Amino acid sequence: WSSDVCSSDLDTIEKIYYDYVQIQDWVNNISFQMFKDRWRPDYIVGLTRGGLIPAVMMSHALDIPMHALKVSLRDDADTESNCWMAEDAFGYISATSIPRPKGEPTSDSNLRKNILIIDDINDTGATLDWIIQDWQGSNLPNDPAWADVWGNNVRFAVLIDNLSSKFSRKVDYCATTINKAERDVWIVYPWER
């Protein structure tokens, strides 16, 4: 539960329940949006916990590999920094793998992987911003090449996008939107029952 919502508040807050049929429709919708963009990920990253089921569904439907990434800012504050995914996104060229003269680029846009990061909801934006800060912070954070990575090679998808989120970017793909500033609701997914 969110740190600002205690269990007694959940008894009175409006809840919206979704089933697996709706989730599958949303996953198909996001897949269709990517198809229209002519963009295909090399792999899908499902965020624990809510993004794992949509990621698996999309992975099977599109026959694209899937990986999990643990980002848990509210439940137990235990997150998983993942340098190899950041290196894939950045197209990092290691000095040990490809010798290069001093001052030569540390990334190659031809080596960048297309990565779709998917979660159930962009609620506050904190989870998605944490990934940007972690990946960029672990891999030459001041390199201007990062500006080209976000939205091009690395894209964010959510089933539900909260329009009042403070996410520093706009999600690339969403199936539906809500605005919790106007209507505070608690979303209940089928895997949470």
**pLDDT tens, residue by residue, 88-99:** 999 887 655 555
Q: Is pLDDT larger for residue 99 or for residue 3?
A: 99
Mean predicted confidence (pLDDT) in 61-76: 88
Spatial CA neighbour of 15 closest among 25, 4, 24, 5:
5
Token pair listed for 174: 């969403």
Mean predicted confidence (pLDDT) in 172-176: 98
Residue-level pLDDT at 182: 95
Residue-level pLDDT at 106: 62
Q: How confident is the model at residue 2 (pLDDT cuts 50, 70, 90)?
A: very low
Residue-level pLDDT at 82: 82
Q: Is pLDDT larger for residue 77 or for residue 81?
A: 81
Q: Please state, in angstroms and rounded to a whole number, the distance separating the CA atoms of residues 134 and 123.
A: 19
Q: Does position 132 have pLDDT exceeding 60, yes or no?
A: yes
**Number of residues in the chain:** 193
Mean predicted confidence (pLDDT) in 144-167: 95
Mean predicted confidence (pLDDT) in 161-178: 97
Give the DSSP H or E segment for 88.
helix 83-90
Token pair 């792999």 is at which residue? 43
- 90 to 33, 58, 93, 149: CA distances (angstroms): 24, 24, 9, 7
Q: Is pLDDT larger for residue 6 or for residue 140?
A: 140
What secondary structure does DSSP assign to 63-83, as a single string? T--EEEEE--SSSS------H
> Which tens digit of pLDDT belongs to each residue from 9-30?
567 889 999 999 999 999 999 9
> Which tens digit of pLDDT belongs to each residue from 22-51?
999 999 999 999 999 999 999 999 999 899
Strand partners, 176: 160
What secondary structure does DSSP assign to 121-149, as a single string? EESSSHHHHHHHHHHHHTS-TT-TTHHHH
- Angle at Cα 48 formed by Cα 86 and Cα 85, nearest 5°? 10
Q: Please state, in angstroms and rounded to a whole number, the distance separating the CA atoms of residues 167 and 5.
A: 20
Residue-level pLDDT at 1: 37
